Amino acid sequence: MTPEERRARFSAVHLYLVAPLVTDGRTLLDIATHAVAGGVDAIQLRDKIATDAELVAGLRGLRQLCDITGTLLVLNDRPDLAVAGGADAVHVGQDDVPVDEARGIVGEDLLIGLSTHSKGQIDLAHVGGASGDPEAVPDHIGVGPIHDTPTKAGAKAVGVDLIPHAAAGELPFVAIGGIDAQTIHAVLKAGAPRVAVVRAIAEADDPRAAASLLRGAVDARR
């Protein structure tokens, strides 16, 4: 895909799954296969303990599924491995590789997502950070954590108040953090066009059914 095609695909994303290589003994490929059938249209591999080789192999294993289904494939934190594994995008945090450095690694072909946790961080993302460098403007942002979540231990929940602020900007965004079948409605009502989930799908007994329920909520609001 061209960068423009990747941006268009992200803009059309409804439900974004974030998960490690293995959850409760099930591989991400297995979970993703069922989750995509239920409506997930973006997958981020986020695994803080996997080796470089495992991350690259994991991406390559997911690539065929994503190509067949039109699903966007993202790697957390590692722009170098995103290139090596054939991902469509890399997602970095405020304390990870800066966006401009990530751009220097992945070039113009891959998308770059950036986590934001405040109005100030959202505003800075739009202008390229404190330096105002166009190369430091991400292609999209994550907003959260909306609710407390063990996947972001120690991070303060921001609630839904940041969502309207993000929605008023030009960068596409995804709301993330403790979103499940009970909390998703308030997130959507606040103006989130797409949501990212971790445990609500990855730890579900039936990832396809869990994804279908969440996707139905997003589709109904959109």
Q: Which of 190, 43, 173 is nearest to 115 (CA)?
A: 173
Inter-residue contact 204 to 24 (CB < 8 Å): no
Q: How high does pLDDT run on average in the chain? A: 95
Query: Are the C-beta atoms of 112 and 102 separated by less than 8 Å?
Result: yes
pLDDT tens digits, 210-220: 999 999 999 99
Taking only the tens place, the pLDDT of each residue in 111-141 is: 999 999 999 999 999 999 988 999 999 999 9
Distance CA 56, CA 19 (A): 15
Parallel, antiparallel or unpaired: strands 111-116 and 42-45: unpaired
**DSSP 3-state of 122:** helix
pTM over 0.85, yes/no: yes
26-39: pLDDT as tens digits:
999 999 999 999 99
pLDDT computed for residue 154 by the predictor: 64
* pLDDT tens for each residue of 176-200: 999 999 999 999 999 999 999 999 9
